[in-house]
Amino acid sequence: MKKLVLALTAAAALGACSQLARERVSDQLANELHTNPVLTVRSGFISVAPEPIVVSMKELGRGPNAKPMTWRLPAGHRFAAENGIEILGVVVDGQGNPVKPDPKVFKDPNPRISREGRAALSCQINDKDRSEFSCRFTDKAVVGIYRYNIRAVDPSGKPVESDPSIFGME
């Protein structure tokens, strides 16, 4: 009898999980994820969700009063002391013009990156344990694809990195 009850309980729990997996993410939660992306670390790799981050510069604003995008590491991990999040620049075309956000850019193994785009975002560590980092668009931000590095240290002290993208939309 105990085995039957246990089996029925497990089946009900698994059924509930499969139902949750089918639920749609609300627009509000989806918007929240793009300004507060989820970071996970597995087997020495940092994963960012969503990737790319897609944000409206019109909604976030530009300059010192702009709303931030904030990354938080899992417990036990911390951002590197320097350049925990480093903006590499903006992706440009052959003429040096910023490329408009487009998923096709991921197919280019060697996109051109203008280092002048580093001034488009201002980033800083938010807390003394170095688990939270925020970036804001500056007045120099233009619509484009911004590449950045995330550098962190796992609980054993081993460095981990990732190089995701931000799609800055108007």
pLDDT, tens digit, for every residue of 41-88?
A: 998 889 999 999 999 999 999 999 999 999 999 999 999 988 999 999
The pLDDT of residue 8: 32
Of 3.40.50, 1.10.3470, 3.30.450, 2.60.40, the CATH number of 25-169 is 2.60.40
pTM exceeds 0.85, yes or no = no
Do residues 160 and 116 lie in contact, with contact meaning Cβ atoms separated by under 8 Å?
A: no
Assign 139 a pLDDT band (cuts: 50, 70, 90): very high
Is residue 47 helix, strand or coil?
strand
> Where along the chain do its domains lie?
25-169
Assign 1 a pLDDT band (cuts: 50, 70, 90): very low
